[in-house]
Structure 1
Amino acid sequence: MKKYIFTMIAAAFGAGAFAQQLAQTVKGRVLDTESQQPVIGANVIITSLNPVQGAATDAEGNFRIEHVPVGRHAFRITSVGYDDAFLQEIGVGSGKEVELNIRLTESFRALDEVVVKAQKETGAPLNDMVSVSGRSFTVDQTKRFAASVNDPARMALSFAGVSTTDDGGNLIIIRGNSPKGLLWRMEGVEIPNPNHFASEGTSGGGVSALSANVLGNSEFLTGAFPAEYGNATSGVFDLKLRKGNNEKREYALQAGVLGLDFAAEGPIGAKGGASYLANYRYSTLSILSKLGVTMGDAVNDFQDGAFKVYLPYDEKAVVSVWGMGGISTSTVNNDDIKEKFTSNRGMLGVNYLRYLNSRSYMETIVSYAATRQTGDFLDKESQDVYQQNFINQTLRVSSLFNAKLNSRNTLRIGAIINHLDFNLFDQNNEDGPFVKNLDQKGNTQLFQAYAQLKSRLSPNVTLNAGLHGMLLGLNNQYAIEPRLGMKWAVAPRSTISLGAGLHSRTESISTYFAQVKAIDGQSNLVNKNLKLMKSAHFVAGYEFRPSAGWRVLAETYYQHHYHIPIGPPNTNSPFLLHNSMLNEIDGFVNDSLVSAGKGRSYGLEVTVEKSLTAGIYLMSTTSLYQSKYTGRDGIERSSRFNGQFVQNLLAGKEWKVGKNKTNIFAANIKLLAAGGNMTTPVDLEKSRKEGRTERDWSRSYSEHLPHYFRTDLRVSYTKNKRRTASTISLDLQNVSNRLNAFDRYYDKKEDRVKLITQVGLIPVLNYRLEF
């Protein structure tokens, strides 16, 4: 009896002691990389704990580890017949359970064979068919990196090969290419540009409409993409939405300069694994404007939302319903101008995933996307009016078949049908009576198909080969695009990679239907038969991982661009004679064009990265590049985006603080130095005559703007309680208050050319509560 009482007392004290240590549940699923089938009996071990904690996966590949102390943790995942996998910098907080989706690659080596294998760790692409120029990123990084402010596009600006010199937007310039060449994907299908205040055909905007509350780990590619990625020439943002918690309800509230967010997730039904996840954000600027607080001449309003419903249909099928949307309006009314600009977008998708057998699956996706952009502009002095209304809708049906033929070979084939519906209007009276630049409505189709094979030629060499085809029904222009990639693990921690491929992209529908006046005064659709812009990519890389937390990656590349829209042979316009669409950032061009231009870009990139271990992370990216174009005049010039160099340095430190060391104080810094964009000099005499900025296009993009320098700081404090976690953070963007150059223009009042500078210091305060 005494022994029983003593045991009960000891257990009570132990429980009390354990209750003082804040902990959370880590759960997830382990799947075979190629077949997406569950890996039974895999061991998931938390190596950062002493003694280690872990669990084994069940018949569905699920695992669950309870009572994991809050903080950062490293994981090792092992299973007989599979290569080990490693996860670093996984944050565990007390407010929300952590769910991990882990993939293992089957090993086919003989027991006595000596194998040279590079470990797949932090930063490695999620898609195993990506051989070069690709990396994954976590939602935690979008929250943690200084100046990212929960925006994956701004976070990507820290990666090698990526640049921007615009403080007011998140346009992504990849390897000196126009940001128009970027493909946005979500849940496996192409989506419209997911940014607020985005103009026709552009890939960025002022504020991201994506929420970190719903995003999962995603992928960013900068060149030589696998065959499944089409309609892209510069880069790919491949976004994933995470599943909601299927066991308990969880919530998150967030308030900051950019908006007020509310997120909710939880199970659907008593059991079965179904879940929901939803997020809504309303602009803080909208609230302030309604209270009478204004910031400058412009009044900016926006709101957005996103959701995902995950529904297991039976043991071999899953249905996911997802969507996102955003509306944004900018209004200006002062002594000089009156302007209202709206940019709205929405998308809805249904994914049906069916496991055909133990080695193959098929996924069919039906999605709908729509964008609407309107603009009404009045110059009060000249009475010039500009009006625009662009409506684009797309219905997509895509299907993918994936078969793991054996431990060495995996085949993936797919097809995509895009039905494009448009209603486009654009007019102005700048040169007298109103002129319609665009007044078209109708529909057309874009057809895509691809096949790719991943072949592990040996334990050390993997070959990815594929073919992508694309046909635009509007003008029957097509492209056949071969793709090839190789990875060779030449030493235990060293990998050589090679990639090559041909890539194509359509122009914005509005450009095809631009109405250009001929000599007889009639408007003609001269751009309707433009060819698909093409870009051939060649990449070579070397990666070295000296330890589990460090990686060094060097890549060199060459890109050849052709079928670029430029001015027609008989043009008298200086703009068309000396320019190229490689210099444009948005889609609507109401000029006569032909697909006869070319360009090239080449460079070297070096990344040195330490993942967040022992409370410290570090990343340095160096990009040296050249970007050129050749216009109608036959002269090769620097492109608009030829900044020539970008140097990023990020570093961060986390400290465990508080009585029980369960709270976290973090400090992060980002240093950026980049070459300024090229600009076309202002023609002062012509500007004086016209009373507005006029460019000397005979010297197109010959003037280098001053170099761009910026320092960003972020500090945050996270307090973990028994059932909640709260974080307060302050981002100081451009902390040195440097007024970087944006462009030059003619000031009519002062009769001189002036430099447009960008904003200085921007503080972004944010509070987040998870429960």
Structure 2
Amino acid sequence: MRLFISFIVFNLFTSTATFAQTLTQTIKGQVIDAESRQPLAGASIIVTSVQPIKGGQSDANGFFKILDIPVGRHTLKITFLGYENGLVQELVVGTGKEIDLTIRLAESLQQLDAVTVKASAQNGTALNDMATVSARSFSVEQVKRYAAAINDPARMALTYAGVAGNSEQSNALIIRGNSPKGVLWRMEGVEIPNPNHFAEEGSTGGGISALSVNMLGNSDFFTGAFPAEYGNATSGVFDLKLRKGNHEKREYALQVGVLGADIAAEGPFSAKSKASYLVNYRYSTLEMLKKAGIQIIGDAAPDFQDGAFKLFFPVTQRSVVSLWGMGGLSRQIRHRTTQNDAFHSDRAVAGLNFTHFISEKSFVDATLSWAANRQTYDASRLQQVYIREENFTNQAYRLSLQFNHKFNAQHSLRTGIIVSNLRFQLLNRTTDGTKVSTTLNQQGDTYLLQAYSQWRYRISPVLTLNAGFHATLLALNQQSSLEPRGGLRWTLAPRHALSAGFGIHSRTEALSTYFAEVKGKEGTISFANKNLALLKSAHFVLGYEFRPRDDWRLQAEAYYQRHYDVPIGTINTKSAVWRTESLLNLMNGYTTDSLVSDGTGRNYGLDFTIEKFLTKGFYFILTTSFYQAKYTARDGVERNSRFNGKFVQNILLGKEWKMSRNKTNTLAVNVRSLWAGGNRYVPIDLAQSKKRNTTVRIYERSYEEQLPNYFRFDTRISFTKNRRRTTSTVSIDIQNLFNRTNLYQPFYDSATKSLQFDTQLGLVPILNWRLEF
């Protein structure tokens, strides 16, 4: 570690012969119509942050290139006759990599005499033009920059309004008081398995992200009332995009840090075409040190590796093919005095995408994909016959077809179908002495069928309507859902906008829940949960946005969500748990008890955001959310849900200083404070726990109790040095800088016969070094 740190310091601070030379880089990309994706020839691209101003024009295919832009942060203004202006801010230019952008412009409507409409800045606006409310875009640069994000999109999203966490050891997201199980992950337009290492069955989060910032492009994040194309989600959506590799120049990136060491490469296949490749591979740094004989945290060291790729081929002027994929392997093996444990959690996805432009107004996207995730857990006690076996293997073969047509500047249509063949092999078995207990042992396949259509109608330059529907059918039990969606945005004055959105949303359970084996009185086995309905959630959102300047945004949203067809205990249940419990409270996993879809719930709240985007070396985000999350189980009592923290507040800010004689290097400090309501839990009956010498909970009072408020302060300090052909960055993220001991959950300690509390992580420093060339 001393050698590693010494190398970084030497690399960053030694002088070079090019110290007095102006360091520059190329900005290039393509300008396209936001709805038809047709290239816009003759668009003007101006770099407004340099003096004298530099710029260029897009060619017949919409491509542009601006040479010799000084390193640093820059702002681009894009104009094209008949289109609304575009604005790109926070653009980081370094010597190590060229900047390659895809800029989408919206066609202008005829201006009304009494109304003047100024195009809003692109910063934060969702890439999906069908989005109206509760949506925003994020950049890879933000994922790398935000304090406590540590290159993870999910941890970065914890900064946004309405988003909270439950455990510092997981990036699972509690969005507007909803279970993390309701989050949908998409990549390149199709659903993918949970993209996190050490993820458990039925979860959408994990300990470490398997996504590489070297691969991701600008993407969207939704917190409610999603557009019609998003199905199988009830709380949130990550719509991830993979960027293309540089089709003109070979470029590389190396990164070494506490969490992992990775390498990325990209470049052209041929100088005669715009075909490109982009690949990335990462391996756990702690596991590498362990194999070298340096054991820092014992047997519990996270062992993981992941990789990703995208191959891009323009087949003809009207057709494009891309082959992409990502995968990750993770395991944790512990050898104890009395027990051995082995946990594996793996995932993979690969897709073939074909885009064909039928005409100047229509195109079709077709994607074939395969996805798989597997979780296994094996435990054995060394001094007695005890074996526990878990094996959850899920695969999905998907065909996604989407047709897009732009009728004119006012009307556009997007419609599609998704056919998913879901295959599963599920086992949960325990051997204790001579007794074998099996709660799950199934394999087979089923289908999930989805169809959607959405229409965008720009009624006037100040009023836009998005409307559509999503339909879902689970062939396993013939359960279906028809889900209307709609959104309206009204620019009531320059820089002021009101919005409204609604939608019905549904989600399937983990397949293991449907096949949980329930034993009858005579030893018969049935699948009591096989006919569970799709869990449904109706979202209603009202929003207001004010942009006093291009780099400032003030936003407020009020929302109400009604959940129904929620799995809860049966009428005759004898389980103390399921008289008061609901699947709205589960983080992951499945249950072996009989359930019926009779439960309900409701969430409501207010989200506030004040945001200054990064300009002149400074940015600032303040988010405050007040919310309530309730559920009703079998006993008919409405209770606080497990995730009803009631409030969450984030303050994130950062400052950058230009260093060196020519201002080519950058020192950056980013800090974040998080204050939120504590975790809720089922109270423990201490007297009965002492009497029985085991934990006894008071289920009639489920989630009445709440731990003290959670507080954490994080910081990130980085130094970036640009040389003639390389950019290197050293950073240190310090999570929980003040080493505050936040409580996680209570438990009964049979040794001391007292109530104790598990705690969250203390101070965690994460050192990282990155080189681009």
Sort the TM-score into its range (normalised by shorter chain). over 0.9
For 2:537 and 2:567, the matched residues in 1 are separated by 13
* AA at the equivalent of 1:185: R
- Please list every run of 5 or more consecutive structure 2 residues that lacks an aligned counterpart in the other structure: 1-16
Cα distance in structure 2, aligned partners of 1:306 and 1:216: 13
Question: What amino acid does structure 2 have at the position aligned with 1:398?
Answer: S
Q: Distance in 2 between matches of 1:674 and 1:440?
A: 41
Q: Secondary structure at the match of 1:434?
A: strand
Candidates 753, 767, 770, aligned match of 1:765: 767
Offset of residue 587 of structure 1? 3.1
Q: Which letter does structure 2 place at the counterpart of 1:33?
A: A
In percent, how many aligned pairs have the same letter? 55
Deviation at 1:428? 2.2
- Structure 1 residue 691 displacement after superposition: 4.1
Amino acid at match of 2:378: D
* 1:196-229 per-position Cα deviation (integer Å, ceiling 9, x unaligned): 0000110000000000001000000000001000
Quote the residue 1:13 is aligned against.
Answer: none
Q: How does 1:36-185 map to 2 (within 5 A)?
A: 36-110=37-111, 112=113, 114-117=115-118, 119-185=120-186
Following the alignment from structure 2 to structure 1, what is the Cα–Cα distance between the partners of residues 136 and 685?
Answer: 44
C-alpha distance 388-107 of structure 1, shift in aligned 2 (>3 A): same
Q: What amino acid does structure 1 have at the position aligned with 2:407? A: L
Q: In structure 2, what is the Cα distance between the partners aligned to 1:201 and 1:104?
A: 39
Question: Of residues 296, 307, 321 in structure 1, which corresponds to 2:309?
Answer: 307
Q: What are the within-5 Å matches in structure 2 for residues 524-543 of structure 1?
A: 524-543=526-545
Mapped to 2, the partners of 1:700 and 1:155 lie a distance apart of 31
* 8 Å CA contact retained: 1:373, 1:391: yes
SS of corresponding position for 1:421: strand
1:255 aligns with 2:245: no
- Shift of the 701–761 alpha-carbon distance from structure 1 to 2, 3 Å rule, reads same
Residue 646 of structure 1 corresponds to 648
Evaluate the alpha carbon distance shift between residue 641 and residue 379 of structure 1 in structure 2; reply closer, same or farther with a 3 A threshold. farther
SS at structure 1 position matched to 2:356:
strand
449, 452, 456: which one aligns with 1:450: 452
Matching residue of 2:555: 553
Provide the residue aligned with 2:328 in structure 1.
326
SS at 2:703 equivalent: coil
Q: Does residue 376 in structure 1 map to residue 378 in structure 2?
A: yes
* Residues 309-458 of structure 1 mapped to structure 2, 5 A cutoff: 309-378=311-380, 384-429=386-431, 433-458=435-460
The CA distance in 1 between the partners of 2:378 and 2:692, in whole Å, is 23
Q: Distance in 1 between matches of 2:364 and 2:280?
A: 29
405-414 or 333-342, larger mean C-alpha shift: 333-342
Please give the alpha-carbon distance, in whole angstroms, between the structure 2 residues aligned to 1:306 and 1:703: 44
Correspondence for 2:11: none
Give the residue type in structure 1 aligned to 2:440.
L
Residue-by-residue CA offset, 1:383-442 (whole Å, 9 max, x unaligned): 654210011110000100000011100000000000001010001257982211100000
| 1:635-714 matched pairs, under 5 angstroms | 635-688=637-690, 691-714=693-716
Residue range with higher mean Cα deviation, 639-648 or 428-437:
428-437
Give the CA deviation at 1:690: 5.1
Q: Is the 8 Å Cα contact of residues 425 and 439 (structure 1) preserved in structure 2?
A: yes
Equivalent residues of 2:177, 2:628 under 8 A apart: yes
Structure 1 residues 112 and 700, CA gap change in structure 2 (3 angstroms):
closer
Once the two structures are TM-superposed, the CA of residue 702 in structure 1 deviates from its matched residue by 1.1
Report if aligned partners of 2:84, 2:119 keep a CA contact under 8 Å in 1.
Answer: no
Note closer, same or farther for the CA distance 1:78–1:150 as it changes in structure 2 (3 Å cut).
same
Aligned 8 A contact 1:224 1:537 in 2: yes
Of 356-365 and 101-110, the range deviating more from structure 2: 101-110
In structure 2, the residue matched to 1:7 is none
Partner Cα separation in structure 2 for residue 112 and residue 163 of structure 1: 45
Partner of 2:271: 270
Aligned amino acid, residue 568 of structure 1 = T
- Aligned equivalents of 2:694 and 2:135: distance in 1? 44
What is the CA-CA distance between 1:581 and the residue it aligns to? 0.2
Contact 2:720 2:730 in 1 (8 A): yes
Partner of 1:23: 24
Structure 2 counterpart SS, 1:325: strand
CA deviations on 1:137-193 (whole Å, 9 max, x unpaired) are 000000000000100010000000000131111011100000000000000000000
AA of the residue aligned to 1:116: V
Alignment-derived partner of residue 509 in structure 1: 511
Amino acid at match of 1:734: N
Distance in 1 between the 2:382 and 2:161 partners? 45
Query: For the Cα contact (< 8 Å) 1:530–1:595, is it kept in 2?
Result: yes
Counterpart secondary structure, 2:142: helix
| SS at structure 2 position matched to 1:670 | strand
Q: Give the Cα separation in 2 of the matches to 1:435 and 1:18.
A: 71
Distance 1:382 1:644 in 2: 46
The residue type equivalent to 1:287 in the other structure is M
Quick one: distance in 1 between partners of 2:692 and 2:434? 14
Residues 510-567 of structure 1 show CA distances to partners (whole Å, capped at 9, x for unaligned) of 1000001122222210000000000000000000000011000000000000000000
Going from structure 1 to structure 2, the CA distance change for 1:243 and 1:152 (only over 3 Å counts) comes to same
1:693 to 1:296, Cα distance in 2 relative to 1, 3 A: farther
What is residue 502 of structure 2 aligned with on the other side?
500
- Would the aligned equivalents of 2:384 and 2:433 in 1 still touch at CA under 8 Å? no
CA offset at residue 335 of structure 1?
3.0
CA distance in 2, matches of 1:520, 1:745: 36
Residues 561-590 of structure 1 deviation map (CA, whole Å, 9 limit, x = unaligned): 000000010001110101000000113221
8 Å contact from structure 2 (residues 607, 626) kept in 1:
yes
How far 1:636 moved relative to its partner? 0.3
Letter in 1 for 2:446: T
Match of 1:600 in 2: 602
Partner Cα distance (2:108, 2:577) in 1: 58
Q: Name the aligned partner's letter for residue 461 of structure 1.
A: L
Report which stretch shifted further, 687-696 or 66-75. 687-696
The match for 1:6 is none
CA contact 1:180–1:587 (8 Å) conserved in 2: no
Whole-angstrom CA distance in 2 between matches of 1:580 and 1:348: 35
Q: CA deviation at 1:54?
A: 0.6
Corresponding residue number in structure 1 for 2:722: 720
Tell me, in whole angstroms, the C-alpha distance in 2 between the residues paired with 1:447 and 1:649.
42
What are the superposed Cα offsets for residues 217-276 of structure 1, whole Å, 9 maximum, x if unpaired? 000000000100000000000000000000000000000000001000000112210000
CA distance in 2, matches of 1:165, 1:467: 33
Distance (whole Å) between structure 2 residues aligned to residue 526 and residue 684 of structure 1: 34
State the AA in 2 paired with 1:573. Answer: S
369-378 vs 486-495, which deviates more?
A: 369-378
Question: Is the Cα contact below 8 Å between 2:121 and 2:551 reproduced in 1?
Answer: no
Partner SS state of residue 546, structure 1: coil
**Distance in structure 1 (CA, Å) of the matches to 2:336 and 2:221:** 41
- Where does the alignment leave 5 or more consecutive residues of structure 1 unmatched? 1-15
Corresponding residue SS for 2:81: coil
TM-score, structure 2 as length reference: 0.96
Task: Quote how far apart the aligned CAs of 1:88 are.
Answer: 0.8
Match of 1:368, as an amino acid? W
Q: Please give the alpha-carbon distance, in whole angstroms, between the structure 2 residues aligned to 1:243 and 1:688.
A: 61
- Provide the C-alpha distance between the structure 2 equivalents of 1:703 and 1:296, rounded to a whole number of angstroms: 35
**Matched AA of 1:395:** Y
Deviations 1:296-341 (A, max 9, x none): 4523210000000000010000001000000000112223532110
- The C-alpha deviation readout for 1:439-487, integer Å capped at 9, x for no partner, is 0000000000000000000110000000100000000000000000011
Q: Is the 8 A contact 1:309 1:322 kept in 2?
A: yes
Instruction: State the distance in 2 between where 1:655 and 1:561 align.
Output: 48
Taking the aligned partners of 2:622 and 2:458, their CA distance within structure 1 comes to 32
Distance 1:691 1:17, change over 3 A: closer
